[in-house]
């Protein structure tokens, strides 16, 4: 039986586009930070999306408030790594 919450190329692309073109942060800022596409969570089951969403909101706040420079990129990368680990922790057996 297929998982109705499973990611499809269409849902992943749509989520990346949403972040790139009009997430909570201005579109120009989103386009400038390629990494933001990886904070999408619409393709995840609700329980994992709830975990992932908190990291996406933090990443949005960083982009909105921290000057764009290499250290901001490092901050976003570390948030992404933490998000990935938290999601994996939720699915670990």
- The 3-state DSSP composition of the chain as helix, strand, coil percent (nearest 5) reads 75, 0, 25
Predicted confidence (pLDDT) at residue 7 exceeds the cutoff of 80 = no
Beta-strand runs (E) in the chain: none
Q: Is 2 inside a domain boundary?
A: no
Tokens (6 digits) for 89: 């922790």
**pLDDT for res 33:** 80
Instruction: Report pLDDT for 1.
Output: 46
Q: Give domain status of residue 3, yes or no.
A: no
In a domain, 33, yes or no: yes
Indicate the pLDDT class of residue 44, thresholds 50, 70 and 90: very high
Helix (H, G, I), strand (E, B) or coil at 89: helix
pLDDT of 6 strictly over 80: no
In a domain, 4, yes or no: no
pLDDT for residue 30: 45
The total of structural domains in the chain comes to 1
44, exposed or middle or buried, with CB in 10 Å at 0-12, 13-18, 19+? buried
Whether 1 is covered by a domain: the verdict is no
Please tell me which residue, 77 or 6, carries the higher pLDDT value: 77
Question: What is the domain extent for residue 44?
Answer: 9-91
Contacts of 23 (CB under 8 A, 6+ apart): 30, 36, 60
- pTM (2 d.p.): 0.67
């Amino acid at each position: 039986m297929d998982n109705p919450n499973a990611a499809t190329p269409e849902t992943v692309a749509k989520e990346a586009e949403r972040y790139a073109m009009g997430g909570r942060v201005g579109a120009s800022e989103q386009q400038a930070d390629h990494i933001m596409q990886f904070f999408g969570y619409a393709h995840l089951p609700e329980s994992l999306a709830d975990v992932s969403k908190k990291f996406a909101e933090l990443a949005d706040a960083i982009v909105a408030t921290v000057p764009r420079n290499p250290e901001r990129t490092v901050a976003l990368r570390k948030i992404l790594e933490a998000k990935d680990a938290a999601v994996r922790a939720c699915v670990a057996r």
